């Protein structure tokens, strides 16, 4: 829904504006509670990644490029990478005792 909101309200969108809108409106929904809910099946992972693929095509000059090139140009990681990174950060906090048990 948030991706549709961006698409409907912006005829032309610059790269910087897109990245700010995407990170604040779309990606926050895709990553909500991902340390609790984690896509175990490849199809679930693909469905989440497909949203980011569609989102990066909203920028006209990047629409014809491959998904990897679009991510590199916009300096965005894949959602799978962000989930792995988040899990490693949580594990580090547990091992180092950063969490307060009370």
Q: What is the CA radius of gyration of the chain?
A: 16
Q: For 66-91, how does the pLDDT look when each residue is reduced to its tens digit (9 = 90+)?
A: 999 999 999 999 988 988 898 898 88
Taking Cα atoms as reference points, which of 83, 69, 87, 51 lies closest to residue 15? 69
Q: For 20-59, how does the pLDDT look when each residue is reduced to its tens digit (9 = 90+)?
A: 999 998 888 887 766 666 677 888 888 888 999 999 998 8
Predicted structure pTM score: 0.75
Taking Cα atoms as reference points, which of 88, 94, 86 lies closest to residue 30? 86
**pLDDT computed for residue 64 by the predictor:** 92
Measured between alpha carbons, how far is 60 from 85 in angstroms, rounded to an integer? 30
């Amino acid at each position: 829904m948030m991706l549709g909101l961006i698409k409907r309200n912006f005829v032309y969108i610059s790269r910087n504006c897109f990245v700010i809108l995407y990170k604040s409106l779309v990606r926050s929904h895709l990553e909500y509670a991902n340390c609790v809910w984690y896509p175990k099946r490849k199809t679930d992972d693909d469905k989440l990644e497909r949203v980011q693929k569609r989102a990066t095509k909203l920028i006209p000059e990047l629409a014809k490029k491959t998904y990897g090139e679009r991510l590199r140009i916009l300096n965005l990681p894949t959602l799978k990478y962000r989930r792995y990174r988040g899990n490693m950060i949580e594990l580090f906090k547990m091992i180092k005792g950063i969490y307060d048990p009370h």
